[in-house]
Amino acid sequence: MNWTEIAILVLTFVVLLGIGVPVAYSIGLSSLVTILITMDPVIAFTTLAQRMATGIDSFSLLAIPFFVLAGQLMNKGGIASRLIDLARAMVGPLPGGLAFINILACMLFGAISGSSVAAASAIGGFMVPRMEKEGYDKAFGAAVNLTSASTGLVIPPSNILIVFSLASGGVSIAALFLAGYIPGLLIGLALMIVAGVVALKKGYKSNETTGVKIFFKSFFGALPSLLLLVIVIGGIIAGIFTATEASAIAVLYTLILSMVVYKEVKYKDLPRILLDTTLTTTIVLMLVATSMGMSWVLSYENIPQGVSDFLLNVSDNPVVILLIINLLLLAVGTFMDMTPAVLIFTPIFLPVVVQMGMNPIHFGIVMVMNLCIGLCTPPVGSLLFVGCSVAGLSIQKVLKPLLPLFLAMIAVLLLVTYVPALSLWLPELFGY
């Protein structure tokens, strides 16, 4: 492992980010500068371009544009309002009920759409003003909204779990989907506990009413949306179709749901939805391509083996090694988007944890949970920016109420890290 080349890679990447170069270009350019030191320019350019092209030449990655399109249709198709009605009927009358509604609705919408940003904007756009109107602190409402939206990246279907499957060399997507359920629900539960404590402390009451009739009305109103989870995840687990095929089925189902059943999406809306999907997919796949190029550079410089040797020399105690990896991933998540972080750091850390006997499925969930927390933290947390934008608040005002929710997410992360059964029980139950 050549420390000079590592220093050049890191320094170039940090400088490019610091001067405002987009993340994908920063990753690609820093990788190119690094290999230009040891390769002829023609070979360096050709090799990096080849690695970027082959990096996105994957059948599994076809699921990403389909799930993005399904999420766009859900965002416009009236699904959010129906999920909010269901959440209101389930937890609305409890003390601090509006905070619980926000959390539960974000979990449901994030799980169905697979997009945390869509959950934060769709649910937050309705719930944060409603919470403020009922006397809740607006910053607290924004903090609840943006942290609970992150659960959609752990609870399947999740694009980032598909990316981890690619980066890990083929860990089963179905197994990763199953592994995400319990950790995702635990994050939501922990956030509800914190929100409940805050509500009791500050005297936030609920004016919501519910009953059997209201519950069943809201449940059947949201049932067509909830059935998407059954169709997609059930079909994958039963072996009826692959994750990629499931993503195409999700698009067809949400198109019918949004245009025929709920009638919220019109034909005139489709060009804009398709354009937004194309832009999002382009950004994601550009990140994937350049990140795969950087992953090859890291491998070429023998960095994963060097990091593995270094960590194992620090300690041979799995508890200590996992704590160090968690701290490193939490730090990475504060300045790097999830997709490149998974593609770059999975080949570095996965060999270390596998050598310690950790199941790759378990590690995939731990990694994604770490990076989900990073989405809620400055300086580049996308959920933090979206949540603050939806609420019309500065980041500084949201940070104080965000802190206890942030600590709750870290507590669940540590629990899942050191209790493998929480993420492995369902995959093992279904034979993965």
The per-residue pLDDT for 413 is 94
pLDDT of residue 1 exceeding 60, the answer is no
Average confidence score pLDDT of the chain: 83
Number of domains in the chain: 2
Of 180, 188, 177, which is closest to residue 149 (Cα–Cα)?
188
Domain around 34: 1-55
Helices 79-91 and 63-76: crossing angle in degrees, nearest 10, is 70
Region 33-37 average pLDDT: 86
Q: Does residue 290 lie within any of the structural domains?
A: no
Q: Does residue 270 lie within any of the structural domains?
A: yes
State whether 76 and 1 are in the same domain. no
Q: Does residue 231 lie within any of the structural domains?
A: yes
Contacts of residue 186, defined as CB under 8 A and 6 or more positions apart, other chains included, come to 412, 415, 416, 422
State whether 176 and 314 are in the same domain. yes
Region 148-153 average pLDDT: 84
Q: Write out pLDDT tens, residues 231-284.
A: 888 888 877 888 788 888 888 888 888 888 888 888 888 888 888 888 888 888
The per-residue pLDDT for 207 is 66
Region 221-226 average pLDDT: 81
The per-residue pLDDT for 206 is 67
First to last CA, the chain: 36
State whether 38 and 159 are in the same domain. no
pLDDT of residue 425 exceeding 90, the answer is yes
Q: Does residue 4 lie within any of the structural domains?
A: yes
Cβ(340)–Cβ(290) under 8 Å? Answer: yes
Q: Does residue 195 lie within any of the structural domains?
A: yes
